[in-house]
Amino acid sequence: MEPSRDISRLIEIMAALRDPHTGCPWDLKQDFQSIKPYTIEEAYEVADAIERNDMDDLTDELGDLLLQVVFHARMAQENGDFEFGDVVEAITRKLIRRHPHVFANASADTPEGIKVQWDDIKAAEKAERASRRQARGEAVEGDGGRLQGVPRTLPALTEAIKLQRQAARVGFDWNEAAPVLAKIEEELAELREALESDDKGKVQEEFGDLVFALVNLGRHVGAEPEMALRGTNEKFRRRFSHIEKTLEAKGEDLQQASLERMEQLWGEAKGLEAKGT
């Protein structure tokens, strides 16, 4: 079997890997639950390639992510649930339906107006899915309110910002960053009190409240929390690497270096970054 630019070849390869008689034992052993962590991991690797602006890696990682879609679709087809073509049809239908200003006669001239239109259409789609499930005699999850559509399986930072955005759409939000800063100060004071009480459960709760408030601030100032933290993580990598390399070059042992010495080199790394060197 030869490689190809045609998606049908990928579907054929996946089918061959899952063939009960001649397929790969590892692929045959997998199910939705066992593959799920790989799907999440591949999405993060796509994000990493984008962050590094590495187009070669991005090509590979997008392929790996596409494989996850094909893998899940193949397992669903084997169960008689749906197949890859149904996935493609579902997303094309959704894109056409959610962009009536492009594919129909609706009018939406601003990103804000388009977002409102998108949310209204999503709500209608959700109601239709519930109706279809009821018609098939399937259980329909009870109404959990506006926040029900935010998956609990999301990374916590992403879940937090999505919860806040949903609440903001009905006015449960501040109009500017200043009150959010005041809330952060309030949560920080409560964390200090919890630390003084030495109650580990309370400390964790208050720490979570503080992080949630910081996520809220990021939303108000246009700093996406996940990407902001990734940027800080990368900065930490660079500066700590400078500490390691400098100590090694001077014949000093990282394990024996004092905190003061490492902080001095950290400041040196900051200075070099500021100069663009």
Amino acid at the residue 142: G
Low-confidence winner among 15-19, 106-110, 177-181 (lowest mean pLDDT) = 106-110
Residues 6+ apart with CB under 8 A from 212: 160
User: What is the Cα–Cα distance from 124 to 130, expressed in whole angstroms?
Assistant: 10
Higher pLDDT, 108 or 80: 80
Query: Would the pLDDT of 141 be above 70?
Result: no
Tokens of 146: 């506006």
The domain segmentation of the chain, as residue ranges, is 7-148, 156-223, 227-275
pLDDT at 25: 97
Q: Which CATH architecture has domain 156-223?
A: Orthogonal Bundle (1.10)
Tokens of 59: 């090509």
Low-confidence winner among 25-29, 48-52, 105-109, 213-217 (lowest mean pLDDT) = 105-109
* pLDDT per position as a tens digit, 1-13: 788 999 999 999 9
Same fold, 7-148 and 156-223: yes
Task: Kindly state the percentage of the chain with pLDDT values over 70.
Answer: 97
* pLDDT per position as a tens digit, 144-158: 577 877 888 888 998
Class of domain 7-148: mainly alpha
**Tokens 């959990």, residue?**
144
pLDDT at 111: 79
Residues 6+ apart with CB under 8 A from 169: 119, 146
User: What is the Cα–Cα distance from 206 to 27, expressed in whole angstroms?
Assistant: 44
8 Å CB contact between 190 and 209: yes
Q: How many CB atoms lie within 10 A of CB 260?
A: 7
Question: In residues, how long is the chain?
Answer: 277
Helix axes 225-249, 156-168, angle to 10 degrees: 150
Tokens of 128: 């239709």
Residues 6+ apart with CB under 8 A from 234: 51
User: What is the Cα–Cα distance from 66 to 63, expressed in whole angstroms?
Assistant: 5
User: What is the Cα–Cα distance from 189 to 197, expressed in whole angstroms?
Assistant: 13
Q: How many CB atoms lie within 10 A of CB 73?
A: 20
pLDDT at 143: 52
User: pTM score > 0.75 for this model?
Assistant: no
Phi, psi values for residue 212, rounded to 5°: -60, -40
Query: Would the pLDDT of 273 be above 60?
Result: yes
